[in-house]
Amino acid sequence: EAGVVQSPRYKIIEKKQPVAFWCNPISGHNTLYWYLQNLGQGPELLIRYENEEAVDDSQLPKDRFSAERLKGVDSTLKIQPAELGDSAVYLCASSLASGRQTGELFFGEGSRLTVL
């Protein structure tokens, strides 16, 4: 069974440029998460989807970040414009659990962003 797939694995851009990350979750996983991981820190939730609905986006900096999950499968996370402080690893994860239930998160390899 294929795991969570993310692309690109690495991206280097100059500040103020836009960037987009793509995630394909495990088939059948209705819940999808985007996490931000800074060096030496744990993942921090940006947004959680159940099917195509964003059920928790309270930590998403909406002035520059946006996300979508059309048709409840693949998801895209966009940053526009990027700032130096956005340099981090962006992790996508999916899960079978939904609603108030929580279960194992299956993570992708992550997209490492460097903003110059």
Partner 1 sequence: GENVEQHPSTLSVQEGDSAVIKCTYSDSASNYFPWYKQELGKRPQLIIDIRSNVGEKKDQRIAVTLNKTAKHFSLHITETQPEDSAVYFCAASKGKSTFGDGTTLTVKP
Stretch that binds partner 1, among 14-22, 60-68, 77-85, 99-107 (CB under 8 A): 99-107
Query: What sign has the CA pseudo-torsion 115, 106, 6, 10?
Result: positive
Q: Which of 46, 22, 15 is nearest to 110 (CA)?
A: 22
The site string for partner 1 over 63-92 (x = CB under 8 A, - otherwise) reads: ----------------------------x-
Strand 65-68's sheet: what is its strand order?
5-7, 19-24, 75-79, 65-68
Q: Which of 38, 83, 47 is nearest to 66 (CA)?
A: 47
Sole binder of partner 1 in the list 33, 34, 65, 90 (CB under 8 A): 33
18 vs 61, which CB is nearer to partner 1?
61
Stretch that binds partner 1, among 14-22, 35-43, 66-74, 77-85 (CB under 8 A): 35-43
| Residue 59: CB minimum distance to partner 1, A | 9
